[in-house]
Amino acid sequence: MVANPKMNERENILGRIREALSVPAPVPGAHSGEPPHAVSECEAATHIPEWLPRVGSTFEERLALFRTNAAELKADFVLLDSPEELIAKLREIAAAESWKKVATHSNALTDGACDALDLPVLRTDNGYDPRDMETCDAGISACDALIAQTGSVLVTSQSAGGRALSVLPPHHVVLARREQLLADLPAAFALLKTKYAPGYPSLISFITGPSRTGDIERILVLGAHGPKKLTILCV
Amino acid sequence: MTPAASQFKKNAIALTADLRHRALIRTALKKYEVVRDDKVSRFQNWQSARQSAAEIKWDAVNHLDAHLIEFARNLEARGTQVHWASNAAQAREIIIGIIQERKAHSIIKSKVMTGEEIHLNEALEKAGFDVVESDLGEYIVQLRHEPPYHFVFPAMHLTRGEISDLFSKELGTASTDSPEELTMIARRVLRDKYIAADIGISGANFGIAETGMISITENEGNARLTCALPKVHIALMGIEKVLPKLEDLALFLPMLATAGAGQVMTGYNTLYGGPRQPGEADGPEAFHVVLLDNNRTQLLADPEQRDALHCIRCGACLNVCPIYKNIGGHAYGATYQGPIGAVITPHLRGLQQWKHLSFASSLCGACTQTCPVKINLHHHLLQSRRNAIAQKPVWWEKPLFQGLAFLFNHAGLFSLGMKLGRIGQVFYPLVKGTRLDPASAWTKSRELPKIAPQTFREWWQTRK
Ligand code: SF4
């Protein structure tokens, strides 16, 4: 049937795959001749946390690890004791960098903080013009989690004001709560599942440090296309 | 010799003698092993991580049909259009079709190695579209009209001076020797392109069957912008990139970062599960995923080398390869350089045309040892040599070995041969280095060892 060539290619490809797979391959690490055995993915998956970099079990250990990772990544991490302190810190950064306009989205943490800045605010919630966001000095967003193991910030298009807010402005400020600090990557994926499945946001991103490149002589430069600075304020 | 083989030989000979070029690669890769080892040591057990990664990939590739069906079904359920392309021409046609249907003109691309494989840029330009690469390294090689030099570090072969000259010539900027300033020039130029572009084209590092998402790993944020601002996002992905479960990424993301560039995690690891969903602030109206075969099923049909489809394109095998370090990336003349390129190119583009790559190896095994998903790279090079010869034997090899067997089986003839060899050696300097030299391939760069004045048998006799 030539009626639907698109469907044909799907069938052609799947047909070639099935034909190819009719001859079994030796298991990974085995020498040829050994019979293949079905690898249990669940078995591999349950052990993953044991192979990955070590994370301590207490909150203090996780916090210390996140701090070390963030410093290594050249991200600023500040732990604050109250929402008032967070607002004060944000105002301090705004003054130091003489922000004129910021972009953000509506959220329990961002609302109060951004209102306190006394600056023009672009909110992404109901759509926005990217050229308008281009003129903002900072993007202020919430997040889903912080990951101690890697120093990453987990954001999604639902939790952090869409896709561009965390990459377009030159400074990305993340506002997080202490409870959001997770131990490791497996915990982060487990969180995504319980929080969103099956209606996942269209974008899920692990942000690890400010935008960077080493494409010129392998020398590290920050702010290749995304933010030059990443600040994580945690209450 | 095929054109690809003679080109390779010519390049390799010239580049091995080019000390400046070799020094450049060495500086670029000098720090790699140190930072990589540091990050490897943070794993509680890197070897077990490699074994798990190999097992997950084995499962993915050996049940590819089921995973692909699940992957496509889940993508489609969230409004993504999935296309299937058997070869490069079909993939180009599908992509150009989507762009034309949108009456779009300007395209921004983040790094797509499969795009290099199908010569997408040339096709898009020929169709009259404006295409700009947004990854800094890719942007630089695009301005130079060159293919990437390394599939992870595309502009590794250039100095800041050369890049500054390039920018001055192409963009009219003032010359500078600061990598920072050069990066900022590219940032300014490309910012406008993202906002103006109608179409964003990306690749995919992984496809997640369970949830119907693609995962893109990058450091610069250029893929994030490419997939955020244009109205249409097209992702081109090889069919072998599927992983069964979302949580498999908990292992693969840090391993890719560690093996690829000695990072704990790459700057941005992003999953895309569809176009803009109801209630979201931004994102493309349409999301297309183009699945590309282009002879991957051919490689799948070889159970012995099937594990080459486990590759996560981290580039680690290039970084440790003594051949790559001497001849660099362009000499290969293939989309995928280094050991993995030498293994898969004969499958993707023809064994007889590309078998020379399997011979360009010292078989030291550094690639196999470093590969995060345990691909048996150097053994595959040996198998390709065997397959190439079995398919097309060299006519003089068999009579040569038959002759030798005859000689070794006749003691008298053998000792006569030894004597003649010693006599011949006296006259050898007369032909050495001339066209008559039977050992010219060897003596071009080395001395021929002297035959011992006495054979073992002669010595044994004197001993009695
Ligand atoms: S073959 Fe292994 S080491 Fe080489 S690029 Fe692929 S995954 Fe990395």
- Assigned domain for B356 exists: yes
Structural domain including B273 reads: 48-294
Rg (CA), chain A: 23
Q: Is the ipTM beyond the 0.90 threshold?
A: yes
User: Residues of B with CB below 8 A from A200's CB?
Assistant: 78, 211, 213, 273
Cα–Cα nearest to B18, from B379, B314, B328: B328
Atom 2, ligand 1: which residue's CA is nearest?
Answer: B371
User: Residues of A with CB below 8 A from B90's CB?
Assistant: 9
Residue B6 CA, ligand 1 centroid: distance in Å:
26
Q: Which atom of ligand 1 has the smallest separation from the CA of B318?
A: 4
Confidence (pLDDT) at A42 = 47
Does any CB of chain A come closer than 8 Å to the CB of residue B191?
yes
B162 and B87 share one domain: yes
3 state DSSP class of B161 = helix
- Assigned domain for B302 exists: no
- Assigned domain for B70 exists: yes
Q: Closest Cα of chain B to A64: distance in Å?
A: 16
| pLDDT > 60? residue A36 | no
Residue to mutate among B162, B219, B227, B241, with most A CBs inside 10 A, is: B219
Atom 3, ligand 1: which residue's CA is nearest?
Answer: B371
How far CA A29 is from CA of B149, B267, B376, in Å, comes to 31, 31, 8
Please report which confidence band the pLDDT of residue A61 belongs to, taking 50, 70 and 90 as the band edges. very high
Helix, strand, coil tally for chain A in percent (to 5): 35, 20, 45
- Assigned domain for B305 exists: no
How many angstroms separate the CA atoms of B18 and B394, rounded? Answer: 32
Max mean pLDDT range (A54-58, A204-208, B447-451): A204-208
Which chain A residue is nearest to residue B194, measuring alpha carbons? Answer: A130
Confidence (pLDDT) at A44 = 58
Beta bridge partners, A47, equal: none
B26 and B96 share one domain: no
B107 and B242 share one domain: yes
Residue B312 CA, ligand 1 centroid: distance in Å:
6
- Assigned domain for B398 exists: no
Cα–Cα nearest to A126, from B282, B222, B305: B282
- Assigned domain for B399 exists: no
Task: Identify whether the C-beta of residue B260 lies closer than 8 Å to the C-beta of residue B205.
Answer: no
Atom 8, ligand 1: which residue's CA is nearest?
Answer: B314
Residue B392 CA, ligand 1 centroid: distance in Å:
29
B114 and B240 share one domain: yes
B314 lines ligand 1 (CB under 6 A): yes
- B52 with A53: Cβ contact below 8 A: no
Confidence (pLDDT) at B437 = 86
Q: Which residues contact B418 (CB under 8 A, 6 or more apart)?
A: B451, B455
The pLDDT of A229-234, averaged and rounded, is 98
Angle between helices A185-196 and B249-261 (to 10 degrees): 140
- Assigned domain for B62 exists: yes
User: Residues of B with CB below 8 A from A32's CB?
Assistant: 304
Q: Per-residue b/e over A131-143, b at no fewer than 16 CB within 10 Å?
A: eebbebbbbbbbb
Share of chain A above pLDDT 70, in %: 90
How many angstroms separate the CA atoms of B279 and B276, rounded? Answer: 8
| pLDDT > 50? residue A32 | no
Backbone angles phi, psi at A207, to 5 degrees: -100, 120
CATH of the domain at B64: 3.40.50.10420
Of A24, A163, A211, nearest to B267 by CB-CB distance is A211
End residue of a domain, out of B338, B361, B392: B392
B340 lines ligand 1 (CB under 6 A): yes
Confidence (pLDDT) at A27 = 80
Structure tokens that stand for A168 in this block? 């377009």
Does any CB of chain A come closer than 8 Å to the CB of residue B208?
no
How far CA B191 is from CA of B180, B229, B394, in Å, comes to 16, 11, 56
Angle formed at CA A134 by CA B289 and CA A73, multiple of 5 degrees: 75
Which DSSP category does A36 fall into?
P
B29 and B169 share one domain: no
B65 and B129 share one domain: yes
Please report which confidence band the pLDDT of residue A33 belongs to, taking 50, 70 and 90 as the band edges. very low
How many angstroms separate the CA atoms of B329 and B246, rounded? Answer: 34
Confidence (pLDDT) at B320 = 95
B452 and B387 share one domain: no
Please report which confidence band the pLDDT of residue A109 belongs to, taking 50, 70 and 90 as the band edges. very high
B181 and B143 share one domain: yes
Angle formed at CA B463 by CA B462 and CA B464, multiple of 5 degrees: 95
| pLDDT > 80? residue A46 | no
Please report which confidence band the pLDDT of residue A34 belongs to, taking 50, 70 and 90 as the band edges. very low
- A226 with B225: Cβ contact below 8 A: yes
Would you call the peptide bond into B453 cis, given omega within 30 degrees of 0 as the criterion?
no
How far CA A78 is from CA of A58, A209, B26, in Å, comes to 19, 14, 39
B207 and B328 share one domain: no
Confidence (pLDDT) at A37 = 47
End residue of a domain, out of B294, B326, B347: B294
Domain count, chain B: 3
Which chain B residue is nearest to residue A130, measuring alpha carbons? Answer: B195
Confidence (pLDDT) at B354 = 94
Please report which confidence band the pLDDT of residue A43 belongs to, taking 50, 70 and 90 as the band edges. low
B351 and B444 share one domain: no
User: Residues of B with CB below 8 A from A158's CB?
Assistant: 279-280
Cα–Cα nearest to B217, from A145, A142, A208, A44: A208
B261 lines ligand 1 (CB under 6 A): no
Q: Closest Cα of chain B to A19: distance in Å?
A: 8
User: Residues of B with CB below 8 A from A130's CB?
Assistant: 195, 229, 282
Cα–Cα nearest to B347, from B313, B303, B399: B303
Does any CB of chain A come closer than 8 Å to the CB of residue B273?
yes
B154 and B251 share one domain: yes
Q: Which residues contact A153 (CB under 8 A, 6 or more apart)?
A: A143, A145, A146, A147, A174, A176, A206, A207, A208, A230, A232
End residue of a domain, out of B335, B364, B392: B392
> Which helix (DSSP H) or strand (DSSP E) does residue B32 occupy?
helix B19-42
Residue to mutate among B167, B195, B224, with most A CBs inside 10 A, is: B224
- B52 with A227: Cβ contact below 8 A: no
Residue B387: half-sphere exposure toward Cβ, Cα within 13 Å = 20
What's the mean pLDDT when you consider all of chain A? 91
B52 and B77 share one domain: yes
Which DSSP category does A53 fall into?
P
Domains of chain A: 56-234 (3.40.50.10420)
How many angstroms separate the CA atoms of A17 and A168, rounded? Answer: 41
In terms of DSSP bridges, do strands B106-109 and B130-133 run parallel, antiparallel, or are they unpaired? parallel
Confidence (pLDDT) at B432 = 83
- Collect the ranges in chain B with pLDDT lower than 70: none
Confidence (pLDDT) at B352 = 92
The pLDDT of A178-194, averaged and rounded, is 97
